[in-house]
Structure 1
Amino acid sequence: MRIRLSDHFTYGRLLRYTFPSMVMMVFTSIYSIVDGLFVSNYVGKEAFAAVNLVYPVFMIISAIGFMLGTGGSAIVAQALGEKRNEQAQEYFSMLVFVTFWLGVAATVLCEIFLKPLTGLLGASGKLQDYSILYGRFTTLSMPFFMLQTSFQMYFNVAEKPKAGLAVTVMAGGANIVLDFLLVGVFRFGLVGAAVATNISEILGGVIPVIYFLRKNDSLLRLRRAHFEGRVFGKACTNGSSEMLSSISSSVVSILYNYRLLELAGADGVAAYGAIMYMAFIFAAILMGYANGSAPIVSYQYGAQNQAELKNLFRKSLVIIGSMDLIMFLLAELCADPVTWIFVGYDPGLHAMTRAGFRIFSLSFLIVGFTIYGSAFFTALGDGGVSAFLSFSRTFVFQIGAVLLLPALLGLTGIWFATFAAELCSLAVTIGFWAAKKKKYGYA
């Protein structure tokens, strides 16, 4: 039975509607994880460190697509809730086209400045050569990856989360198979990993375009559209929190890598990369829930249904709290085998990674609430609060923690930094939930 944005949501219905989005986010995170897994085991730890060193740059670029997808989907969903269907189609089409062309521009700039950028990141010698080689190829498909990240949100607005899941599984599956063939079988190294990512991202961006251009039974269709600066600006403002979150996380990852190069050399960067791959999967599940439930919140807010907003908010907190606890327990139980998959070929590196992961996993007890807090205010159209929460969480608190704690605790302080930052962010998020509850009527 098709679930509609206008429905009343029980726990079961809410989980069924958001589950495809959670799986989509996990498969999206697979791009970097699978590349890293095959590169680490078949090319070596220095090439693995290069992938992790340059990866934040790509995430900064793709953040544009995430911004327009989250901010734009809230605008489109609110327009649908207010029964302005024609305007919703116009906004949707315009934002998709703009996303693609911004991706093209970002790719050109990245190709031009990649070499000096890797130098600024602290890479030199063979590590820099590997970073440039991998980066030259992977930036070519960035416009399509930006489209894919945007369409993840629009599939939810179109009441077609399962179609979005199918596209993402197809693209992620292609990446896994191609990495196995190009890196594991034919031994094309970093170039093979990059080409595998290129092909999978192109599939993930092109297939949704074809779907929405053709006649379908969803709420959205792509068509000719004129650029509307006001709507584009509002989408940027509303989605700025998600963009700030991605950019800030990427900048913080660069800082982590820089400090780790100082404290532990390339091994430290490799260990951090392996830990972050697991963190990507857990965060992807939580972001998938937040993004999957956001169109429902936007629709009900547009329809001025405060009773359903209260229902969604309460149930979401229960679901997220349960997810956080389960993820923490899984991380503690699986720290040894999971880290062995990535770096088991080097006993010293494996021991460092395992110890760091056990400490880092404390952040899983909190991160779901802080991720949902920002996404919830984005869905309500309050881009200012959402941006403040994202910026403070992923930039201010993280940078403060990564600068202070290693100075006090050495390498151990690096692994504690994320937990300390999330704890501070949770306090700020709870404060805004309490301050804004009467204005929006969700509690």
Structure 2
Amino acid sequence: MAVSAEELGTQDIKKLLLKQAVPASVGILFMSVNILIDTIFVGQWIGSLAIAAVTVVLPITFFISSLGMAIGVGGGSVLSRALGANNKEKALLTFANQIMMTFLMASVFVLLGMFFSADMLLLFGAKGAIVKPATEFFFPILLSVPFLALCMMGNNIIRAEGKAKFAMFAMIIPAFVNIILDIVFIKLMNLGMFGAALATSISYFMCFLFVLWFFMYKSELKLKTSHFKFNFPIIKEITNLSFVTFSRQGVVSILAIILNHTLYTYGGEHSIAVYGIISRMLMFALFPVLGITQGFIPIAGYNYGAGNYERVKETVEVSIKYAALLAAIIFVFILAFAQPIVAVFTTDSKVIAETPNALRWVFAASPIIAIQLIGAAYFQAAGKAKKALFLTLSKQGFFLIPLVLILPNFFGIFGVWVSFPIADILSTIITGYFLKKEMNIKLTKHNDGIL
């Protein structure tokens, strides 16, 4: 059952979080299963080099499409608080400006990607035998990126309205389409990397059609032509908060560049394939934690906008407890089943030998990441862009990138894998400090009427 915007401020927090987080988790699960199966098909039917090629290309396309996600998350925070303050007109203007911003910016980046494709692929680590399959995969995917960007933007707005189940469907549909078309294009038609890219591109377009249908027939946000005008105060507010998500994705892209080059230097093509498997497992295994984080944002944002600070505080506490429990269960699962998990992806003996221990090290600090994820999400939901940006960038930007640059000089390829849990621990300590301060002082003072 869908949740109306008003119910975000009245329903029991635990039940409300469950209603928001479960569909978000299921949506992320299907999306990650889609990426996981896509990687398995590519690895088993084309080869481990194909996994390496996908690992090189996807950070480029996700960086461009993350414009939509950034505008969706930042604008979703503005929209949630506007709905909480009963300012429907601002919510509508925010949504219209998000659509225009996403389409224009994604299109510009796609054109740049087409003109500088060879340089981009080299920058992101396409070297040696990886170049040919990466190039075949890149162009069809690039042309579909504007549709993916609009899907990512729209999905965040659907959740901001409280319609988490529809957001879930928007993630499930492309997963099914991609898996079916992978079988047709790769296995039956033997189209190789081009077939894999074509299947993914069509799945993005199907997602776009579903999101378009939702906003035409199911959304509470009924846009008129008059709303499609650039409103610079709203654009500034969206940009301030969007910058948090886009900066994070920008740092993730820089990390991908550094990781791919470091992995190639210390382990060759097969080490990039190893990280390709690990990166997909990170999204797949952590889907319930990410789902709780996504379910948390509209609840916290709405109640912060409505001045219900006690509900905001309760939402933070409940979300961290649930997310931490799930993350601990995931950690135990990875420890126990790393070897059989890896064997599903490839028959390459080098990749199978190296990946299980690398996978365990990357997940080593996962039981504590709930604090970092929920803490950064709280400051974004509350519209506190500077703190949100600082905390969002803390793991990859302040810790993981320097560690990846330094530790392999002393420990070789092991230095790459051990960098992940160290970065998780350090960023969680910092986020925990700021979040505890906010909960104990800021929201308490709000509740007492001091601020």
Which secondary structure does the structure 1 equivalent of 2:407 belong to?
A: helix
TM-score, normalised relative to structure 1: 0.95
The one-character-per-residue Cα deviations of 1:305-329 (angstroms, maximum 9, x if unpaired) are: 1121121111111111111101101
Aligned 1:92-107 pairs, distance under 5 A: 92-107=95-110
Q: Say whether the 8 Å CA contact 2:286–2:330 is kept in structure 1.
A: no
Which secondary structure does the structure 1 equivalent of 2:230 belong to?
A: coil
Quick one: structure 1 residues 359 and 125, their matched pair in 2 at CA, closer, same or farther if it must change by over 3 Å?
closer
The one-character-per-residue Cα deviations of 1:94-117 (angstroms, maximum 9, x if unpaired) are: 212321222222111111111112
Q: Tell me the CA shift for residue 13 of structure 1.
A: 3.2
Q: Tell me the CA shift for residue 88 of structure 1.
A: 0.9
Task: Give the one of 43, 49, 61 matched to 1:46.
Answer: 49
Q: What does residue 434 of structure 1 align with?
A: 436
Q: What does residue 172 of structure 1 align with?
A: 175
Tell me how far apart the structure 2 counterparts of residues 282 and 124 of structure 1 sit (CA, whole Å): 29
Aligned 1:6-17 pairs, distance under 5 A: 6-17=9-20
Q: Say whether the 8 Å CA contact 1:157–1:219 is kept in structure 2.
A: no
Worse-matched range after superposition: 224-233 or 294-303 = 224-233
| Letter of the 2:418 counterpart | F
Gaps of 5+ in 2: none
| Letter of the 1:372 counterpart | I
Q: Say whether the 8 Å CA contact 2:19–2:164 is kept in structure 1.
A: no
Q: Say whether the 8 Å CA contact 1:137–1:195 is kept in structure 2.
A: yes
Q: What does residue 290 of structure 2 align with?
A: 287
Tell me how far apart the structure 2 counterparts of residues 261 and 26 of structure 1 sit (CA, whole Å): 30
The one-character-per-residue Cα deviations of 1:24-76 (angstroms, maximum 9, x if unpaired) are: 22333445433322111111111221111122111211221111011000101
Q: Tell me the CA shift for residue 439 of structure 1.
A: 2.4
| Letter of the 2:359 counterpart | F
Q: Say whether the 8 Å CA contact 2:2–2:165 is kept in structure 1.
A: no
Q: What does residue 378 of structure 2 align with?
A: 376
Q: Tell me the CA shift for residue 2 of structure 1.
A: 4.5
| Letter of the 2:274 counterpart | A
Aligned 1:127-276 pairs, distance under 5 A: 127-214=130-217, 216=218, 218-224=219-225, 225-276=228-279
Which secondary structure does the structure 2 equivalent of 1:366 belong to?
A: helix
Tell me how far apart the structure 1 counterparts of residues 118 and 207 of structure 2 sit (CA, whole Å): 28
Q: Tell me the CA shift for residue 365 of structure 1.
A: 1.8
Q: What does residue 331 of structure 1 align with?
A: 334
The one-character-per-residue Cα deviations of 1:111-146 (angstroms, maximum 9, x if unpaired) are: 111111222334234421221221111011111111
Tell me how far apart the structure 1 counterparts of residues 20 and 387 of structure 2 sit (CA, whole Å): 26
Which secondary structure does the structure 2 equivalent of 1:8 belong to?
A: coil
Tell me how far apart the structure 2 counterparts of residues 96 and 24 of structure 1 sit (CA, whole Å): 22
The one-character-per-residue Cα deviations of 1:180-211 (angstroms, maximum 9, x if unpaired) are: 22112221110111011101111112221222
Quick one: structure 1 residues 287 and 232, their matched pair in 2 at CA, closer, same or farther if it must change by over 3 Å?
farther
Q: Say whether the 8 Å CA contact 2:57–2:134 is kept in structure 1.
A: yes
Q: Say whether the 8 Å CA contact 1:70–1:150 is kept in structure 2.
A: yes
Quick one: structure 1 residues 172 and 122, their matched pair in 2 at CA, closer, same or farther if it must change by over 3 Å?
closer
Tell me how far apart the structure 2 counterparts of residues 409 and 129 of structure 1 sit (CA, whole Å): 31
Tell me how far apart the structure 1 counterparts of residues 50 and 327 of structure 2 sit (CA, whole Å): 33
Tell me how far apart the structure 1 counterparts of residues 287 and 397 of structure 2 sit (CA, whole Å): 19
Tell me how far apart the structure 1 counterparts of residues 125 and 206 of structure 2 sit (CA, whole Å): 33
Tell me how far apart the structure 1 counterparts of residues 128 and 256 of structure 2 sit (CA, whole Å): 21
Worse-matched range after superposition: 4-13 or 233-242 = 4-13
Q: Say whether the 8 Å CA contact 1:8–1:308 is kept in structure 2.
A: no
Given the alignment of the two structures, is residue 83 of structure 1 paired with residue 94 of structure 2, yes or no? Answer: no
Which secondary structure does the structure 2 equivalent of 1:159 belong to?
A: coil
Tell me how far apart the structure 1 counterparts of residues 208 and 365 of structure 2 sit (CA, whole Å): 32
Tell me how far apart the structure 1 counterparts of residues 269 and 379 of structure 2 sit (CA, whole Å): 39
Q: Say whether the 8 Å CA contact 1:145–1:201 is kept in structure 2.
A: yes
Q: Say whether the 8 Å CA contact 1:5–1:299 is kept in structure 2.
A: yes
